[in-house]
A = this chain, B = another copy of it.
Amino acid sequence: MKLRVDVMLKDGVLDPQGKAIGHALGHLGFADVGEVRMGKVIELELAETDAVKAVETVRQMAEKLLANLVIEDFKVTVVG
């Protein structure tokens, strides 16, 4: 079973990478670009075949390793 974790900075946490991308897009001539936020995606294959258990396992992975819960939120989805 393939799962996906999206990790994004929480609202209100300064995102310097997103800001840099926004500025670079402006320099490249893209106008009217509002807020830009950057995050990361982790896709993983688990041997588990029960979707509920797999999501719970990946939530634990996110809490322990993949996300920094002080500044980041995460979302787990089953991809296939």
Using a CB–CB cutoff of 8 Å, the interface residues on chain A facing chain B are 6, 8, 18, 21-22, 24-25, 28, 30, 32-48, 57, 60-61, 64-66
A28, A43, A64 interface centre (most CB from chain B within 10 Å): A43
Query: Does A45 contact B39, Cβ atoms closer than 8 Å?
Result: no
Q: Within the oligomer, what is the number of copies of this chain? A: 2
CB-CB nearest in chain B for A31: B47
Q: Which residues of B contact A40 (CB under 8 A)?
A: 38-41
Q: Which of A32, A34, A35, A44 has the most CB of B within 10 A?
A: A44
Q: A61 to nearest B CB, angstroms?
A: 6
- Please determine whether A43 and B37 come into contact, CB atoms closer than 8 angstroms: yes
Using Cβ atoms and an 8 Å threshold, which residues of chain B touch A65?
A: 21, 24-25, 28
